[in-house]
A and B are shown apart, each in its own frame.
Chain A
Amino acid sequence: MQTELPVPISPAPSTRSLRPGRRIIDRIANNAFGLSAALPFLIAVAILVALGIRSWPILADNSILSLLTGEVWKPLKGQFGFLPFIAGTIWVTIVAMFLAVPPCLLCAIYLAEYAGSNMRAVIKPLLDLLAAIPSVVYGVWGMLVIVPLVQKYIAPFLSNSLGFLPLFTKTNPTGFSILAGSIVLAVMIAPFIIAITYEVLGTVPNGQREAALALGATRWQAIRSAVIPPTIPGISAGIVLGASRALGETMAVLMVVGNVPQVPKSIFDAAYPLPALLANNYGEMMSIPLYDAALMASALVLVLIVLFFNIISTVVLRRYVRRYRE
Chain B
Amino acid sequence: MKRRHVEELFIKILMFFSFMFVAGSLGAILITVVVKGLPALSWQMISQVPKGGYYLGKEGGILNAIVGSLYLATGATILSFIFGLPIALYMETYARKSTRANLVRLALDVLWGIPSIVYGAFGFIIMLALGIKASLLGGIIVLALLELPIMTRAMDEVIRLTPFEIEAASYALGATRFETAVKVVVRQMLPGIITAIMLAFGRAIGDAASVLFVAGYTDRMPTSLFRPVASLPLAVFFQLGTPYPEVQQRAYASALILTVIVLIISLGSRWLSSRINRYVVK
Query: Could you list which residues of chain A lie within 8 angstroms of chain B, going by C-beta atoms?
Result: 7-13, 15, 18, 22-23, 25-26, 29-30, 32-34, 36-37, 39-41, 43-44, 46-47, 50-51, 53-54, 102-104, 106-107, 109-110, 114, 125-126, 128-130, 132-141, 143-145, 187, 190-191, 194, 217-221, 241, 244-245, 247-251, 255, 275, 278-279, 282, 295-296, 299, 302-303, 306-307, 310-311, 314-315, 323-324, 326
- Are A249 and B115 in contact, with the CB atoms below 8 A? yes
* Residues in chain B near residue A129, CB distance under 8 A: 263, 266-267
Contact B8 A296 (CB under 8 A): no
Point out the residue from A30, A107, A130, A137 that lies within 8 Å of B19, measured CB to CB. A107
Verify B206–A134 contact, CB threshold 8 A.
yes
Count B interface residues, CB 8 Å.
Answer: 100
Give B144 Cβ to nearest chain A Cβ, in Å.
10
Nearest A-chain residue to B86, judged by Cβ: A36
Q: B208–A135 contact, CB under 8 A?
A: yes
Taking the closest CB of chain A, its distance from the CB of B87, in whole angstroms, is 5
B107 and chain A: residue at smallest CB distance: A40
Q: Is B15 a contact of A110 with CB atoms below 8 Å? A: yes
> In whole Å, how far is A36's beta carbon from the nearest beta carbon of chain B?
4
Contact B255 A190 (CB under 8 A): no
By the criterion CB–CB under 8 Å, are B115 and A282 in contact?
Answer: no
Q: Is B148 part of the contact surface with A, judged by Cβ < 8 Å? A: yes
CB of B21 to closest CB in A, whole Å? 5
Instruction: Give the distance to chain A from B176, nearest Cβ to Cβ, in Å.
Output: 4
Tell whether B171 is near chain A: CB-to-CB under 8 Å: yes
Could you tell me if B125 and A32 are in contact, using CB atoms closer than 8 angstroms? no
Q: Which residues of A contact B109 (CB under 8 A)?
A: 310, 314, 324
Q: Chain B's nearest CB lies how many Å from the CB of A116?
A: 14
Which chain A residue shows the least CB distance to B96? A10
Residue contact A302 to B115, C-beta cutoff 8 Å:
yes
Give me 9 other A-B pairs in contact (C-beta within 8 A), A36-B83, A36-B90, A141-B28 excluded: A10-B171, A40-B148, A103-B22, A135-B206, A136-B236, A140-B32, A141-B32, A191-B26, A248-B114
Pairwise interchain contact A282-B212, C-beta atoms closer than 8 A: yes
In the assembly, what is the distance between CA of A53 and CA of B125, in Å? 10
* CB–CB A132/B206 < 8 A: yes
Of A47, A134, A245, which contacts B259 at CB under 8 A? Answer: A134
A30-B107 contact given A10-B94, A137-B259, A221-B4, CB 8 Å threshold: no
Query: Closest CB-CB distance, B31 to chain A, in whole Å?
Result: 9
Q: Which of B102, B106, B115 is within 8 Å of A247, CB to CB?
A: B115
Q: List, in ascending order, chain A residues with CB within 8 A of B258's CB.
A: 134, 136-137
Are the CB atoms of B110 and A307 closer together than 8 Å? yes
Complex: chain A residue closest to B95, CB-CB: A37
Q: How far is the CA of A64 from the CA of B37 in the complex (A)?
A: 46
For residue B55, CB closer than 8 A to chain A, the reply is: no
Give CA–CA (A50, B142) in the complex, Å.
14
Q: A326–B98 Cα gap in the complex (Å)?
A: 8
- A-chain residues with CB within 8 Å of residue B103 when the two chains form the complex: 41
From A54, A191, A251, name the one whose CB has the most chain B CB atoms within 10 angstroms.
A251
